[in-house]
Structure 1
């Protein structure tokens, strides 16, 4: 792949490659690219997801409790979000 993308664009790109994903799955997938960055933590990524959801780029798909009783929210890219992928560099287009 090409150079590292700004975090939100990379998150949007990630969602274009999966049916749906939780924050933990997202972070596991992007850890090798962003793991050393200070903003790569669950709170900041969660804020990115909430902002992207408010902007119509992603939507909530499934909400459940894990084995430990923690809330797990799964997100998926929206049609509007798919349309924003055109702004990605050519090397990142799916």
Structure 2
């Protein structure tokens, strides 16, 4: 990481007012043992405008599929999906990164 950026991050964290999140670096794929069965799982994240299922709306869906073995070991992380959604009360101007 750029030394200037690292210094800025350290300054923010030391203030006690901020936490700095760094970009996730993809990990390597693990090859399962020969003949071991793999399953497909999905990590699902749903962002909403609130907690009331009657009046609040889903505004973003994100999914990360992965393969895993019987012992729970994750072998591969597949292509993620993320999409902003426009509900009846949402304005597209609120979503600058809209596909």
TM-score (norm 1): 0.26
Please identify the structure whose Cα radius of gyration is greater. 2
In proportion to residue count, which structure has more strand?
2
In proportion to residue count, which structure has more helix?
1
User: Which fold has the larger relative contact order, with Cα–Cα distance below 8 Å and residues 6 or more apart in sequence?
Assistant: 1
